[in-house]
Amino acid sequence: MMTVADITLGLMSETVITKIFGMSRWEPNARGRLEEAALELYSERGFDQTTVAEIAQLAGLTERTFFRHFADKREVLFGGEGMLDEIVTRVVAGAAESAAPIDAVAEGLAAIGEMFRGRRDHARRRQAVIAANPGLQERELIKLSRLAAATADVLRRRGVSEPAASLTAEAGIAVFKVAFERWVADGPDRELSTVIGESVDELKAVAGGRH
């Protein structure tokens, strides 16, 4: 029997329902379940040997649902990309007007670090899958390159001239890359934002010739 709530929900688009309830109507947290299933299969049998059908099956969902969330099996690993760009852009734009560009970028990177709190095991497994596959490595580099471009863009909007804006952004992404790899390789008792902070200081030291 249908209730009033069912009818109301029936009139709302799935996107709206997802926004309100944080999940799809019939598939609570489908996205997260697909990501977890994909990572498990990629880790076990390799990226190339895994099909979308198998990922959907392990997640208890259909292939159609998979393709509602991801364009292809590669994109399951890069779902948070838009969010990275958005966080950095917002935090760098909102940094104190007096902040030096490198410190505004450092704030943005630290905010990304916060996003990974409690996700180190997931990040470590994802990194291992990517390291085993040249095509995924290229995709990861494109992601970081876009993040650098978005960062340079927001720095220019803060009034930083070229080439300082591009150099600061690219150096910031270099820091992020090195810090992320260290965080994943190090023990589990440190937060990414801490490692990023240390790496920014280290960049300042090496660029100042203090090594």
**Chain residues that interact with a second copy, rule: CB under 8 A:** 100-103, 134, 137-139, 141-142, 145, 160, 162-164, 166-168, 170-171, 173-175, 177-179, 181-182, 199, 202-211
Query: Within 10 Å of residue 113's Cβ, how many Cβ atoms?
Result: 20
For the bound state, the minimum distance from the C-beta of residue 46 to a second copy, rounded and expressed in Å, comes to: 20
For the bound state, the minimum distance from the C-beta of residue 133 to a second copy, rounded and expressed in Å, comes to: 12
For the bound state, the minimum distance from the C-beta of residue 50 to a second copy, rounded and expressed in Å, comes to: 21
Q: What angle do CA 188, 114, 194 make, to 5 degrees?
A: 55
User: What is the distance between the alpha carbons of residues 104 and 60, in angstroms, rounded to a whole number?
Assistant: 43
Dihedral angle of Cα 103, 105, 106, 110, to the nearest 10 degrees: 140
**Environment class of residue 66 by beta-carbon count within 10 Å: exposed (0-12), middle (13-18) or buried (19+)?**
buried
For the bound state, the minimum distance from the C-beta of residue 137 to a second copy, rounded and expressed in Å, comes to: 7
CB closer to a second copy, 121 vs 181:
181
